[in-house]
Structure 1
Amino acid sequence: MPLLDALKAGASQLVLLHHFALYGPLAVAFGATFPEVAEWLVDYGRMAVQVFLVCAGFLAARGLAPEGRLLAGNPLPLIGRRYLRLALPFVAAISIAVIVSAIADQWLDDPAVPDRATFGQWLAHVFLLHGVLGAESLSAGVWYVAIDFQLFALMALLLWLGRKPAGALLAVLGLAIASLFYFNRDSGLDNWAIYFFGSYGLGAAAWWASARGRLRLWLGLIATVGIAALVEDFRLRIAIALTVALLLAFSRRSGLLERWPQGRLTAFFGRISYSVFLVHFPVLLLANALFANSAPRDAAAITWWTLVTWGACIGAGMAFHRWIEVPTGKVRMPALLRQWGRRALQALPGRG
């Protein structure tokens, strides 16, 4: 699906540039030299996260209930595999971030450098509980990893708990609507999946909408709900999510999803997007530490430092993808944990 790769590639680079314009003395210098560009990146670069949320919901629906049917199997192994897929490279990345932060702290006196990590703080990140426990982040943007896992687990449970296929879909779509109209309007809930489930649910609905015979009804439903939520309370992030969801539904139904854009570059950047996201902040810290101790501050020097740092982040992401993300992606849940999961489900009333 090259269109998905292209969306992820573009979104990951926007998030990267958003952090470029936000953290450290290089960001300050860049903002002073290119104020309009920096202001746009600070204000709007973070909106690219909505692309990830919608794409994640789209792929979750494809993997969990491609035909819109009830998830009959045990959801715990699926949730466990998702945890391993996200957490193993994430733990490696935050461990690198802790080491690099300690090094950068010797050269750089800046709020961008996290405080020295504690074991409890690191452990909260390992179990993806750093947001809900209020632990200080060890790297930039790591809240998203925990939210991604929460969203997948929540959707898997909703699809499994439904007694009938229609009930499961209504549970997913009902929670998405509740999120769009209520939960997403309360910023105090932004450490929980329900805050983001509107965008995630739009992505899931886009997959189900693109099935043969459903396009008009489902697209009408998606558009109506999305527009109504925007009329109630306009949020640019929801407008972006709605646009991406409609694009994915139309493109899959028309076949464009598998045909365009045909290019190795976007496919490559899409594949390494998670690794770039995970590892770019330590590289950014080191670059800021070096920049803070360099003499030139003219526009040419700032441009050079920005481009070199950008390239270094991509290079680090390539290495991380090859040597950490891909190998850890082959790790599977131990048989003992699967057995415990089966026993836990059998103990639930009516699910034996």
Structure 2
Amino acid sequence: MATASRMPLIDALKAVASQLVLLHHMALYGPLAVAVAATFPEIAEWLTEYGRMAVQVFLVVGGFLAARSLSPAAGALRANPLPLIGRRYLRLVLPFMVAISLAVAVSALANQWLDDPAVPEQATPGQWLAHALLVHGVLGSESLSAGVWYVAIDFQLFALLALLLWLGRNRAGALLAVLGLAIISLFWFNRDSSLDNWAIYFFGSYGLGAAAWWASTRPRAAGWLLLAAAIGGAALLVDFRPRIAIALAVALLLGGARLGGQLERWPASRVPAFLGRISYAVFLVHFPVLLLINALFAAHPAEDPAAVAWWAMFAWVSCLWAGLAFHRWVELPLGGWRFVLPASLRVRRGRGNSPALPD
């Protein structure tokens, strides 16, 4: 039976998306990626081109869970949003900086054997600070690990949603602010790739997730989901983007599954639940693991298809084991840290607003 805190369908979506991102990076970095591309060109090409689009799943799920937590009944957020934003920052950045430190240490080690553009340069104090403040993308700082742009975007999106809900002051104002910005993003901001270091570029997908939650809580929910589908479809007619098509499909799946009761019941398998729980840890720690394995592969190269497949499987399993260890020994212990505002800045929490942090 599903617990109130876990939703098996969301765990399954996170599991699939995290594995696709992992495989995308396996196909992208290092000599092992070159060997895989030479041995399995069609698979490698597909992962390189489309694996990155799995990030849309996390964007939509993030918006869905944030709406559920911050404004379950589509009302304004009456609590001071700063403690919630601070908690989100700590939950993201504490394990993130541990993973960055690990990536820097492994990069220095791998650099002794591996001459490859995938190995980051030695980190400077400015890079450390930019990553710790989650402004590395905005400042154009070189990333110290793969995919770290997403952590900053996740924080920006959550903070932006919380602020919009708080500034809305009432249900109509909050919904207009959030959904209005989501529509503008779908039709305008998301079509300008120069904005991809800012939340407004991704807010269309995030907003679709929030809209899916709110639509599923209202009378005549199916009609509201159809309206969301029509808006997303119109954005695709203006400019077809596969990433937005994926985001729309995931949002409609979540909204429909909540209406039908499948969200809390399906799938019943423990495998996607397990992979979903460790998805953030796998995302954070997989790059240094891949660097080490690529260094080993460079020292013992292989061209035989069976050997290349074995190396790829070894890399994949190693990343999962490392993610499990990181989840248990780093992410969970650090998840108990809290951000506390001075008493003078606190505002009494409004009725009906949950302080729970989205998963």
CA distance in 2, matches of 1:209, 1:295: 53
Alpha-carbon offset, residue 340 of structure 1: 6.3
CA deviation after TM superposition for structure 1 residue 338, in Å? 4.1
Alpha-carbon distance between aligned partners in 2 of 1:219 and 1:63, rounded to the nearest angstrom:
20
Change (3 A) 1:106 1:168: same
Distance (whole Å) between structure 1 residues aligned to residue 219 and residue 118 of structure 2? 51
Distance 1:274 1:164 in 2: 34
Q: 1:266 to 1:338 in 2, by over 3 A?
A: farther
- TM-score scaled by structure 1? 0.95
Q: Which residue pairs with 1:333 in the alignment? A: 339
Is the Cα contact below 8 Å between 1:77 and 1:341 reproduced in 2?
no
In 1, are the aligned partners of 2:216 and 2:222 still within 8 Å (CA)? no
Paired residues for 1:27-46 under 5 Å: 27-46=33-52
User: Helix, strand or coil for the counterpart of 1:256?
Assistant: coil
- Matched ranges for 1:234-313 at <5 A: 234-313=240-319
Partner AA of 2:343 in structure 1: Q
Give the total of aligned pairs: 341
Gaps of 5+ in 1: 344-352
Residue 215 of structure 1 pairs with residue 221 of structure 2: yes
Report the equivalent of 1:122.
128
RMSD (Å) for aligned C-alpha atoms:
1.0
Deviations 1:181-215 (A, max 9, x none): 00000000000000000000000000001114141
One-letter amino acid of the counterpart of residue 70, structure 2: L
Q: Which residue of 2 aligns with 1:144?
A: 150
> TM-score if structure 2 supplies the norm length?
0.94
Aligned 8 A contact 2:78 2:169 in 1: no
Distance 2:124 2:160 in 1: 30
Distance 1:224 1:338, change over 3 A: farther
Cα shift at 1:300: 1.1
Q: State yes or no: 1:342 paired with 2:349.
A: no
Q: Deviations over 1:244-279 (max 9, x none)?
A: 000000000110001100011110100000000000
Contact 1:77 1:338 in 2 (8 A): no
Alignment of 1:167 onto 2:170: no
Measure, in 1, the Cα distance between the counterparts of 2:41 and 2:47.
10
CA distance in 2, matches of 1:186, 1:212: 33
Structure 2 spans left out of the alignment, 5+ residues: 1-6, 348-359
1:179 aligns with 2:185: yes
Q: Larger RCO: Structure 1 or Structure 2 (Cα < 8 Å, ≥ 6 residues apart)?
A: 2
* Post-superposition CA distance 1:155-206 (Å, at most 9, x none): 0000000132111011000000000000000000000000000000000000
SS at match of 1:139: coil
